[in-house]
Amino acid sequence: MRGLPARRIASTALCAALLVAAAGPAAVADPAREHTRAASRAPLPDADTLLAQVKSLSDLGGVLTPVTDLLNSALKADNGRLSADEATKLGTAVKDAIAKVTPTAPTTPVTPTTPVTPTAPALPTAPVPAGTLPALTRSGGDTVAAPADVIGDALAALQKAIDELIKAVTSGDAAEVATAVTNSVTSLVNTVAATLLGGKLPAPSLPSLPTAGLSS
């Protein structure tokens, strides 16, 4: 009877040895496999640029939805009239969406200036016509027009149009609502165009689309 426990011990040891032998190759690190895994985790080329493009589209979608919700509600309402509570709720959703994507100007820290010696007064210059962008001077001396905040301006115009629409849908004047809806749709289209042109997105590639005003 003493032989039985010995055989069991030998059998257990054999099984353990077989398990260790089977797991051995998997347990040992494979440099080639580790290199492949590390390469798969590496970022894509130009990932930051692509992420910025995707974000601009996501921001645009975040504005489109609440604006179209408001427009649909106004167009489906009797004479385009909404209750004050509903108009406020829909208008607040649009305002919050616009606020989330409105670009903010970077703040420049104020540094103390060194007093300068007074000089002779400069000759008066011709006034700059209204609507003309101020000129910027490059290091080489060339002047270029100051870039306009196209997306920010479009969002501000959209918010103004929405404010007018909110006022119209609570007034009960159907003609006023129709005008405000038209202006809001136009402002929304301008926001889409500003995002596509000013958001550094690739130009559309459909051959049937007009290319005027679009840049790659």
Which tens digit of pLDDT belongs to each residue from 147-193? 458 889 999 999 999 999 999 999 989 999 999 999 999 999 999 99
**For the chain, what are the domain ranges?**
48-101+148-200
Rg of the chain over all Cα atoms, to the nearest angstrom: 33
Provide the pLDDT for residue 173. 92
Provide the pLDDT for residue 117. 53
Task: Give the list of residues 6+ apart from residue 44 with CB closer than 8 angstroms, or none.
Answer: 50
pLDDT at 27 over 60: no
Residues 200 and 151: their CA atoms lie apart, in Å, by 11
Task: Quick: pLDDT tens for 106-120.
Answer: 544 545 555 555 555
Q: What is the DSSP string of 7-68?
A: HHHHHHHHHHHHHHHHHHHHHS--HHHHHHHHHHTSPPTTHHHHHHHHHHHHHHHHHHHHHH
Of 38-42, 97-101, 200-204, give the lowest mean pLDDT range: 38-42
Task: Quick: pLDDT tens for 131-155.
Answer: 344 443 444 444 433 345 888 999 9
Angle at 159 between CA 156 and CA 162, to 5 degrees: 155
- Output the CATH code of domain 48-101+148-200: 1.20.120
Cα-based distances in Å from 15 to 9, 109, 141: 10, 72, 83
Q: Say if residues 64 and 193 touch (Cβ distance below 8 Å).
A: no
How much is the average pLDDT of 42-58? Answer: 81
Q: Say if residues 157 and 187 touch (Cβ distance below 8 Å).
A: yes
Task: Give the list of residues 6+ apart from residue 179 with CB closer than 8 angstroms, or none.
Answer: 168
Greater pLDDT, 158 or 48: 158
Of 67-71, 94-98, 198-202, give the lowest mean pLDDT range: 198-202
Greater pLDDT, 127 or 55: 55
Q: What is the mean pLDDT of the chain?
A: 73
Element spanning 136, H or E: strand 135-137
Helices (H) and strands (E) in the chain, counts: 6, 2
